[in-house]
Amino acid sequence: MSATLTESLRPTATPELAKRVELSAIDASTRGPVLYFLGSSILWLILGTVFALIASIKMHAPEFLGDSEWLTWGRVRTAHLNAVAFGWSVNASFAVAIWLMARLARAEVRHAGMLTLAAVFWNVGLTIGIFGILAGDSTSIEWLEIPPYATPILFVAYALIGAWALITFRFGRSQHIYVSQWYILGALFWFPSIYSVAQVMLLLEPTRGTVQSLVNWWFAHNFIGLWLTPIGVGAIYYFLPKVLGKPIHSYYLSILGFWSLALFYNWAGVHHLIGGPVPVWVQTAGIAASFMMVVPVLVTAINHHLTMVGSFSALKYSPTLRFIVFGAVNYTLTSLVGSLASMRSFSEVVHFTQHTVAHAHHGLYSFFTMVMFGAVYYIVPRVTLKEWPSVKLISLHFWTVAIGNIAMIGALTIGGIEQGINMNVLPTNPDGTAGEPMAFLNVMAQTLKWLEWRTYSGILITVGHVAFAINFAWMLWQPRKPGITQPALFRNAPDMEVAR
C-alpha cells in the first residue's frame, strides 16, 4: 500500500500510529479496574493453591492437620474450589473481559469507578463466603457452596459489571462486532441468569427431590460452559491472531462455533447424573448434547489451528502465545474427553472416580487458567506501560505449571480409570460367570499412589504460581523505565514483529 502524501510528510499521522495512540489511551483508561481485578485474582490463586495442597495431602495422609475442624477435608477442598473458581477465575475473567470489551468496542472506559466498586463488592463477598465455608456454613451444593448470606454481595458486583458492559458496548466507536465480543456478551448475560435461577430454585424456594440435582448440574456445568468457556475461547480468538499479526482463519467458522456452543453446552450438564434417580430421557438428552459438543469444539479447533499454521515458530518467542496455545489445544482435548466420558458405558466406569477430578482440572486449568495466564502476560504491560521484570520467572512459570499440570491430569485420569474398573466392573471367573466385586478397601488402597502423585504435581504447580505472583508484584512495584520499547520475550525474535 502506498503512503499518502500527508503520511509521508508527517510520520506521526500514519493511520497505524493514530490507531496505536487510540488503543494506548483505551488501555490506560482500563488500568484501575483491570489491575484491581488481576491483583485480587492472583491473591486468590495463591490462597486457592494452598488450600488445594492441604486437601491433596490430606487425601493420602488423613492425619495431616487432622484435628483442625476448619481445615477438615470436606471444608478445605470446598474452600479450594471456591477460591480458584470464583476468586481466581472470575476475577481474572472480569479483568480480561473488561480490557477486551474496551479495546474491541474502541471505547475508553467510562465510569471506571463503577468497575472498581464492583471489584470491591465481589472480593468482599467472596472473602465472607469462603470464611463461611471454613467455619461450617457451606451449603454442600456443588459449585454453589457460598453461604446464602454472602451471595447478595456478589450479585451487586455482577449488576455493576453488566451495566458497565452494556454502556461500553453501546457507546463504542467500532461498528463491527468481533467474535470475542459475542462470547463475552454471552457470558455476561448467561452467568447472572443461571446463578439467579440456581439460587432461587435451590436455596430460596428449593424445588423438591432430585429436580434439585438437575438444577444443580444445569448450573454447575453451565458455569463452566457459559461463563468460563466463552471468556476463555473469546480470549483465544483475540490473542491468537493479535500476537501472530494475522487475521483469524475463518469468520464463518467462528460464528458456527459460537452458536453451536450456545445451543449444546447448555444441555450437557445432565451427564453428571447418568444412572442416577432422574428421568432417563433427560439423561439421554444430556448425553446427546455432550456428544454434539464435538461440533463447536472441532470447528473452533480447526479455526485456531489453521490460524496458527505457518507460525508455530513464534511459540519460541512469545510467552502469551505459548500459554494461549497450550490452553487452546487442551480446550479441544478436554472437550473430546468430556464427550466420551458422557457415554453411558464409559460413565458407568469412571463416574464417581478421580477421573472426574482430572477432567475438571483439564478444563479449568489446562484450558482456562493457561489462557488467562497468557492474557495477563499481554495485558499488564499495556495498561502499566512497564515491562515484565524477569523473563526467567515467566519461563519458570510456564514450565512448572505445564509439566505439573500434565502430570496431574495424567495421574488422575489413569488412576480414575483404574479406580473405576476396580469399583464398577465385575471380574470374570474361570468358568465364565461374573465374580465378586473387588472389596472397597482394596479399591481405595490401589488408588492411593495416584493421589500421592497429585500432591507432587501440585507442589510443582505451586512453584509456578509463586513465580507468577512475584513477577506480577515486582512489575507493579518497579518504577516505570521510559526507555523500554522491547517486549519481554523468551528470546529475541529474528525478524518477526511479535508482541509478547
Partner 1 sequence: MNRAPLIFLGIFFTVAFSWTGIVLTNHLMYADLQPVFDENEGRAFPQPLPGDALRGKEVYRDLGCMYCHSQQVRHPGFGTDIQRGWGERGSVARDYIHERRVYLGTMRTGPDLRNVGARFAGEGGRNWHIQHFYNPTEVSNVTLSNGRTYGSIMPPYRFLFRTQPIIGEPSPRSVQHLLPAKDQPPVGHEIVLTQRGEDLIAYLLALKDPPLYPEEARRVYVPPAQPDRGEPRPGTAPESTREVLQ
The answer to whether residues 268 and 221 touch, using CB atoms and an 8 Å cutoff, is yes
Taking the complex as a whole, how short is the minimal distance between the CB of residue 79 and ligand HEC, in angstroms? Answer: 14
The answer for residues whose C-beta is within 8 angstroms of residue 158's C-beta and 6 or more apart is 118, 122, 191, 192, 195
Q: Which does 186 bind (CB under 5 to 8 A by kind): ligand HEC, partner 1, none?
A: partner 1
Scanning 362-439, the segments in alpha helix (DSSP H) are: 370-384, 391-424
The answer to whether residues 18 and 106 touch, using CB atoms and an 8 Å cutoff, is no
* Cell numbers placing 284: 439421554
Q: How far apart are CA 264 and CA 226, in angstroms?
A: 10
Residue holding cell 500510529?
17
Question: Count residues contacting partner 1 (CB under 8 A)?
Answer: 85
The answer to whether residues 270 and 214 touch, using CB atoms and an 8 Å cutoff, is yes
* Cell numbers placing 370: 493457561
Query: By C-beta, is 122 or 195 nearer to partner 1?
Result: 195
Site for partner 1 in 453-492 (CB under 8 A): none
Q: Which stretch binds partner 1 (CB under 8 A): 157-165, 187-195, 325-333, 377-385?
A: 187-195
Axis crossing angle, helix 112-135 with helix 31-60, rounded to the nearest 10: 20
Query: By C-beta, is 77 or 361 nearer to partner 1?
Result: 77
Site for partner 1 in 106-135 (CB under 8 A): none
Q: Which of 45, 84, 119, 226 binds partner 1 (CB under 8 A)?
A: 226
Q: How far apart are CA 253 and CA 306, in angstroms?
A: 11
Query: By C-beta, is 159 or 255 nearer to partner 1?
Result: 255
Q: Which stretch binds partner 1 (CB under 8 A): 155-163, 169-177, 399-407, 455-463?
A: 169-177
Residue span 29-68 as binding mask against ligand HEC, x where in contact by CB under 6 A, dash where not: ------------------------------x---------
Site for partner 1 in 17-46 (CB under 8 A): none
Q: Which stretch binds partner 1 (CB under 8 A): 3-11, 43-51, 279-287, 386-394?
A: 279-287
Q: How far apart are CA 25 and CA 27, in angstroms?
A: 5
Alpha carbon of residue 496 to chain centroid: 30
Q: Which of 34, 47, 119, 278 binds partner 1 (CB under 8 A)?
A: 278
Beta-bridge partners for 434:
428
Taking the complex as a whole, how short is the minimal distance between the CB of residue 444 and ligand HEC, in angstroms? Answer: 5
Q: Which does 245 bind (CB under 5 to 8 A by kind): ligand HEC, partner 1, none?
A: none
Query: By C-beta, is 425 or 444 nearer to ligand HEC?
Result: 444
- Report which residue type is found at 416: G
Q: Does 310 interact with ligand HEC (rule: CB under 6 A)?
A: no
Taking the complex as a whole, how short is the minimal distance between the CB of residue 126 and ligand HEC, in angstroms? Answer: 23
CA distances 5 to 9, 14, 20, Å, are 6, 10, 20
Q: Which of 41, 49, 56, 78 binds partner 1 (CB under 8 A)?
A: 78
Site for ligand HEC in 62-101 (CB under 6 A): 73-74
The answer to whether residues 113 and 177 touch, using CB atoms and an 8 Å cutoff, is no
Q: How far apart are CA 245 and CA 263, in angstroms?
A: 31
Q: Name the residues that contact ligand HEC, by CB under 6 A.
A: 59, 73-74, 441, 444
